[in-house]
Amino acid sequence: MCEIFVVSSIISSIFADKTNDWNEIFCRGEIVDYGFFGCTLNMTVISAWSQLEEWRKILKTKYPNIQIYYRSEEPGEIIYETNDVDGKSYFPERYILDFFDGSAYFNNLDEVAEYVSKKTGKEVKMEEEIETALDELETREQEENEDVFYSFHKFTINDEDKP
């Protein structure tokens, strides 16, 4: 059996007992979406500059049985990380390709290589080849549209923060 808490109750309970000072905890962000799927609470949180590590640690202290999986993306700081170590729980994607009009996620390097090979017309297999092919494509396409960019990243696996 699972316990279902109202999201606002979870958040307010972090600071209700006065042991945590909201002025000292980095919690700059907002919950933009949430929903329950069985006993799982999924939350989409947007924050600035980093994932909400302190907030998560406090939640774990307050609710020791909770398991928190996250995927953090901060393109401006080049932060791409997850604590879903084996990729079998919630976030199987290990690579991301950000581009001027969207993003694409990939479970493995072979998927990325296939996508980039089709997009660039150049056979690629390794990370360095992918980056080179995307740089070349970006340079060509910027001649017609200066806003074009391609940014390829591998998610760092944060196994010290696994649930």
Q: DSSP readout, 74-89? A: EGGGTEEEE--TTS-S
Q: Please state the pTM of the whole predicted model.
A: 0.79
Whether residue 9 has pLDDT greater than 60: no
Strands 156-157 and 79-82: parallel
| Runs of H (alpha helix) within the chain | 7-16, 53-62, 109-120, 127-142
pLDDT tens-digit series, residues 55-96 = 777 778 877 887 888 888 888 788 888 889 998 888 899 999
pLDDT in tens, 112-143: 999 999 999 999 999 999 999 999 999 999 99
